């Protein structure tokens, strides 16, 4: 698999930096190659084109995040605690790497329909796990059993997403991780039974 090849991760990490610093449209493959310290041709051994790089970056980082979330879900905790840990993990990941935060909040918002569908297919993996937490909370009587799960998911994701974009647009000058418990409290109140 291409992922096991030595330079795959090196190119992915370089792409995050180049896309964050230049914007997706100005992030030429040659710039990514230079940042990764590989020849331009090497990139094409791993990726079809720039679009494939963007999607692969997102898949790769989402894969790691999803594994972490699966571990949280497997633990013997209430749905409220799982939701809190999910919010905290999401905030921690993006607060720890501003390049990743810029790519996630600004550069992944592409309007081109084919590209957008591929991006949202990756996002779906995360939202499916979020739904598992919400369903458990509804079954266990912690969350309102009559709430519309799609709207609740859109509220949870939308609130986190807007909080993080505002933090990015304000040059990440305040502590994002500190906001996680406050966001959890606001959202839990909205969903409680």
Ligand X SMILES: CCCCCCCCCCCCCCCCCC(=O)SCCNC(=O)CCNC(=O)[C@H](O)C(C)(C)COP(=O)(O)OP(=O)(O)OC[C@H]1O[C@@H](n2cnc3c(N)ncnc32)[C@H](O)[C@@H]1OP(=O)(O)O
Summarize as ranges the residues that interact with a copy of itself (CB under 8 A): 23-25, 106-107, 109, 111-112, 116, 120, 147-148, 150-152, 154-155, 157-163, 166, 169, 179, 182-183, 186-187, 189-192
Q: Measured from the CB atom, is 39 or 186 closer to ligand X?
A: 186
Distance of CA 123 to the CA centre of its chain: 7
Distance of CA 169 to the CA centre of its chain: 17
Q: Measured from the CB atom, is 20 or 46 closer to a copy of itself?
A: 20
Q: What is the 3-state secondary structure (H, E, C) of 115-182?
A: HHHHHHHHHHHHHHHHHHHHHHHHHCCCECCCCCHHHHHHHHHHHHHHHHHHHHHCCCCCCHHHHHHH
CB of 139 to ligand X, least distance (A): 19
Q: How far is CA 119 from CA 16, 99, 108, 110, 165, in A?
A: 15, 18, 7, 9, 17
Query: Is 119 one of the binding residues for ligand X (CB under 6 A)?
Result: yes
Q: Which does 23 bind (CB under 5 to 8 A by kind): a copy of itself, ligand X, none?
A: a copy of itself
Q: Which does 31 bind (CB under 5 to 8 A by kind): ligand X, a copy of itself, none?
A: none
Q: Which residue has the tokens 């995040």?
A: 65
Q: How far apart are CA 145 and CA 135, in angstroms?
A: 9
Q: How far apart are CA 172 and CA 4, in angstroms?
A: 34
CB of 165 to ligand X, least distance (A): 4
- The total number of residues shown for the chain amounts to 193
CB of 173 to a copy of itself, least distance (A): 13
Torsions phi, psi of 143, nearest 5? Answer: -105, 155
Q: Measured from the CB atom, is 49 or 141 closer to ligand X?
A: 49
Q: Which does 91 bind (CB under 5 to 8 A by kind): ligand X, a copy of itself, none?
A: none
The one among 24, 47, 65, 91 contacting ligand X by CB under 6 A = 65
Which range touches ligand X (CB under 6 A), out of 6-14, 45-53, 137-145, 160-168?
A: 160-168
Q: Judged by CB under 6 A, how many residues of this single chain contact ligand X?
A: 30
Query: Is 57 one of the binding residues for ligand X (CB under 6 A)?
Result: yes
Q: Measured from the CB atom, is 33 or 103 closer to ligand X?
A: 103
Tell me the torsion sign for CA atoms 30, 35, 39, 43.
negative
């Amino acid at each position: 698999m291409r992922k096991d090849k030595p330079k795959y991760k090196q190119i992915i990490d370089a792409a995050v930096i180049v896309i964050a610093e230049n914007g997706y449209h100005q992030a030429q493959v040659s710039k990514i190659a230079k940042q990764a310290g590989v020849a331009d041709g090497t990139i094409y051994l791993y990726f079809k084109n720039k679009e494939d790089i963007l999607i692969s970056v997102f898949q790769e980082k989402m894969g790691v995040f999803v594994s972490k979330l699966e571990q949280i879900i497997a633990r013997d905790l209430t749905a409220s605690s799982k939701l809190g840990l999910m919010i905290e993990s999401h905030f921690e990941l993006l607060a720890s790497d501003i390049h990743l935060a810029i790519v996630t909040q600004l550069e992944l918002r592409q309007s081109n329909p084919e590209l957008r569908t591929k991006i949202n297919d990756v996002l779906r993996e995360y939202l499916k796990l979020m739904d598992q937490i919400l369903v458990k909370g509804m079954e266990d009587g912690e969350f309102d059993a009559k709430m519309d799960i799609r709207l609740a998911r859109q509220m949870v994701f939308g609130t986190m997403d807007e909080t993080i974009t505002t933090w990015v647009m304000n040059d990440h000058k305040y502590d994002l991780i500190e906001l996680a418990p406050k966001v959890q409290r606001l959202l839990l109140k909205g969903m409680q039974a």
